[in-house]
Amino acid sequence: MKIGIIVAMDKELQQLQHLFTDGNVVVEKCGIGKVNAALGAAEMIRRHHPDVIVSSGCAGGNGDDIHVQDVVVGAEVSYHDVYCGTSIDQTTVYGQVQGMPSRYKADGQLLAKACRVKCEGFSVHPGLIVTGDWFVDSKDKMRDIISHFPEAKAVDMESAAIAQTCYKYGVPFISFRVVSDIPLRDTDASMYHDFWNTIAENSFQVTKTFVESLYE
């Protein structure tokens, strides 16, 4: 089995590259945002033909049960900054690209394995991840996003774009997001900066444990 892991930033790449030395696991950086993510996923599929694509990185968390360094597994992913209106198709909902699913569901077998991952010191939460081209650095912006998706557990900038690309190409997909900050409890993104300065080390062990479980 060949597994492709896509991250957005150098910081995330550095965390994951040293965890994987098996040639069947390819870790690549796509860059930040939806277009970079979609291009990175398409290139990953074209060049490496993975059996599974894993999106890994950090995200802002949401919910009373979510804490910094928890891991959210995307049971579903959607866009928080897409609205195609209803003038042509009355069934299109907020967050949905017209003609595409309203939410991209994780591959069922991958999700089941992800929910069984046990890593000491880390809590894993399956749930909704929402994606948009916006670094959420204010409580007002987070409140706006959550008003549309109150059940969302994480907000990032890549997962839904990678999921849409995998959907188009028929490649099983799942997203892992380490919670770097809780925007509704934060001011001036201080949690985010503290995460990278003090506690990011070993935060991607859940992704490693999950990938290893695919070979069992």
Q: Under 8 Å CB-to-CB from 197, ≥6 apart: which residues?
A: none
DSSP-based three-state secondary structure for 198: helix
* Distance, CA of 67 to CA of 53 (rounded, Å): 26
Q: Is 89 one of the catalytic residues?
A: no
Q: What residues pair up with 77 in beta bridges, in sequence order?
A: 104, 129
* Distance, CA of 147 to CA of 2 (rounded, Å): 39
Which residue among the candidates 70, 76, 158, 181 is catalytic per the annotation?
A: 181
* Pair of tokens at residue 49: 């033909």
Q: Report the greatest alpha carbon distance in the chain.
A: 51
Q: Is 12 one of the catalytic residues?
A: yes
Q: Under 8 Å CB-to-CB from 187, ≥6 apart: which residues?
A: none
Which residue among the candidates 12, 70, 158, 186 is catalytic per the annotation?
A: 12
The residues annotated with a catalytic role in the active site are 12, 181
